[in-house]
Amino acid sequence: MNNVNGILLVVGAMAAFALEDMFIKHLSVTVPTGQIMVLLGLSCGLVFVGMAVFTRKRIFDAAAWQTLPLIRALCEGFGAVAFVTALSLVDLSTVAAVFQAMPLVVTMGAALFLGEQVGWRRWSAIGVGFIGVLLIIRPGLDGFQPETLFVVASVVAIAARDLITRRLDVRVASAVVAMQAYGAVTIAGFVLISMAGQPVVALNQAQFGPFLGAIGFGVLGYYGIVSAMRIGDASALTPFRYTRLVFSIAAGMLMFGERPDMMTVAGASLILGSGLYTFLRERRLARSLAVAT
């Protein structure tokens, strides 16, 4: 049942992340990306500090500050810089589409480095989903912009982050893991402001609502994905990251007037179909194991 519960957590997290992306893209029109990262990193980081204290988790446990958790935080910071930059330059639906290459990267990494068993059915489902992504991206055509390379860089970093999550010491609380990640995002934001020479602007009243939305959904999404990756197999859960594309397309249509064409709809349908197939298969496996025991 761990994989089934993990799948539900991933779907919920993807919906939350899509809404967070929507608010960040809206803010990036008037607020520099580095400043957005600093504000989100500090705010979300403080929320997770509060959660850790409230649940009596040890923030400064030695296990949480070993090399592996720190490398994970570094991947988080790099991936956040690349992703937020892409959001400021590319349509939300396009960013989400390119980002869907990550499940394939994570599954390959899980098979190669974590020793997880990936059968032909999972590979087939992920392959179908990836074909759907290609229909949306259309490499070499107008649908693929040079700026989407920022998303590719983010894909590599976030895939490494998720694979490292599977190897973290179980004594390290998820709230502490998330706190470290948002600390890295804050530092990366300051570096981006400094290196890119971005100005720091004063926020007006109309920008507080989007910031609160980004913070709230970011916290929900991040806690959900960390929890999911720690209870389920990465190769079983990652196909459901494709659902972020569907949520993002809906957000792009409602908020920014983006209109996906027929190829985008066809690709999204393949993505949904592959995810649904994997979910039903995991549920059947869970029931068979329950009956056997």
Tell me the residue ranges of DSSP E strands in 70-147.
Answer: none
**Which of the residue ranges 23-37, 167-181, 268-282 would you say has the lowest mean pLDDT?**
268-282
Per-residue pLDDT at 141 exceeds 70: no
Q: How far apart are CA 189 and CA 80, in angstroms?
A: 9
Q: Which residue has the higher pLDDT, 214 or 263?
A: 214
> Could you read off the pLDDT of 167-200 as tens digits, one per residue?
888 888 888 888 999 999 999 999 999 988 999 9
Per-residue pLDDT at 250 exceeds 70: yes
The predicted model gives 230-236 an average pLDDT of 77
> Could you read off the pLDDT of 90-126 as tens digits, one per residue?
888 888 878 877 777 887 788 878 777 777 787 888 8
Per-residue pLDDT at 17 exceeds 80: yes
Can you give the pTM of this predicted structure? 0.78
- Comparing CA positions, the residue from 280, 276, 275 lying closest to residue 242 is 275
> Could you read off the pLDDT of 257-269 as tens digits, one per residue?
888 878 878 888 8
> Is 77 in contact with 184 (CB distance < 8 Å)?
yes
Q: Among all chains, which residue has been given the structure tokens 């982050």? A: 161
The per-residue b/e assignment along 169-206, b for 16 or more CB within 10 angstroms, e otherwise, is eeebbbbbbbbbbbbbbbbbbeebbeeeeeeeeeeeee
> Is 145 in contact with 94 (CB distance < 8 Å)?
yes
Per-residue pLDDT at 87 exceeds 80: yes
Q: Which residue has the higher pLDDT, 144 or 184?
A: 184
The predicted model gives 207-224 an average pLDDT of 90
